[in-house]
Amino acid sequence: MNFRRATELVGIGATALLAVVMLVFVGLEWLQGYAATGWLYDQFIIAGMWLDLYLGTNVFSHSFMWRSIATAVFVGIVAPLVGTYLVHREMALIGETLAHTAFAGVAFGLLFSATTGWDGSLLVVALVVGILGALGVQWLTERTNAYGDVPIAIMLTGSFAVGTLLISYGRGLSGVSIEEYLFGSASYVTIGGSQLMAALSLIVVGVVAVTYKQLLFITFDEQAARVARLNVTWYNTLLIVLTAVVVVGAMQILGVILVAAMLVIPVAGASQVAHSFKETLVLSVLFGQLSVLGGYAIAINQGLPPGGSIVVTAIAVYLVAIFGSSGSVSALSTH
């Protein structure tokens, strides 16, 4: 085993361990009302206090920060995971489109809440609308003769237009604010939001693991997949729905404006140095985690918003990957 391969395995192991720790925290916070899990949750917060004391910070003793970091860690895994397929299918714009669709969902949820007094989760509304938007994009793509990106562009602009109209109308009713959904916020992540992201992340990782070969097939040779009688329409729809799921979860941290960055930038960096699709998948997740952890370190140290810090860090990692590559990227192996 060469050094590069060993480094990748260590990175994936560390990422998996970090994800498990964050899942444990989310679970303990959910079950803190029980005696045993409540005691474990308290120990987690006490460990955070010691970490703050050692680092000279005032971050890890607060549950909302752990919640925010956990959500960001999940995003750093599933966004590049799904984004790898999107980038290699030249569908990078779909993430931005579904983010705008989810924004329309949030706007609808806010308006519905203002007019009826409903106090349910806006993220669930955004998730439902996002999935419906994903299915709408797929339906338009399958049933129109327009160029491939035309339905995406129509859905992108149309959903954002609907969202702005709903928000404008809602402001007149109750003065609702949308800024946190546009730009993201560490304090915006609720207990329910972190639980939803944890559950969605497990689903996304599980689905990608089970359908890896099929998604790989349609990514590199869709026509051959059709000849082989693979249900290409189903797997295309599945991929777009997974994208919608990731976008809604990531919107909590990155906001509508920046959410598509984590689907694309880590993958772009990984593509500069990887020699196969599988290695691109691995490196994109590692680059995603570097971006998340580095971005949060900058945000905490400088008192900056985490969303912008994560994206800027991701771009820095991408530039390092460019300078560290051989200068010319050869065709990827599908192995």
Question: What pLDDT does 328 receive?
Answer: 47
Minimum mean pLDDT range among 150-154, 215-219, 248-252, 288-292: 150-154
91 in any annotated domain:
yes
170 in any annotated domain:
yes
- pLDDT tens-digit readout, 292-315: 999 988 988 888 888 889 999 999
37 in any annotated domain:
no
- pLDDT tens-digit readout, 234-292: 998 899 899 988 988 888 888 787 888 899 999 999 999 988 899 999 999 999 999 99
CB atoms within 10 A of CB 324: 10
Q: How confident is the model at residue 159 (pLDDT cuts 50, 70, 90)?
A: confident
Q: Average pLDDT, whole number, for the chain?
A: 84
40 in any annotated domain:
no
- pLDDT tens-digit readout, 101-123: 888 888 888 877 777 777 777 78
Say yes or no to pLDDT of 175 above 70: no
- Are residues 335 and 278 in contact, defined by beta-carbon separation less than 8 angstroms? yes
- Are residues 59 and 52 in contact, defined by beta-carbon separation less than 8 angstroms? yes
H or E segment and range at residue 170: helix 150-174
CATH number at residue 257: 1.10.3470.10
Cα of 148 vs its chain's centroid, Å: 24
Question: What pLDDT does 145 receive?
Answer: 65
Q: Name the burial class of residue 123, with classes exposed (0-12), middle (13-18) and buried (19+) by CB atoms within 10 angstroms of its CB.
A: buried
Structure pTM?
Answer: 0.88
- Which residues constitute the domain of residue 217? 2-30+62-333
- pLDDT tens-digit readout, 195-205: 989 999 999 99
45 in any annotated domain:
no
Structural domains of the chain, count: 1
- pLDDT tens-digit readout, 53-77: 888 888 888 888 898 899 999 999 9
- Which has the higher per-residue pLDDT, 149 or 293? 293
Say yes or no to pLDDT of 229 above 50: yes
41 in any annotated domain:
no
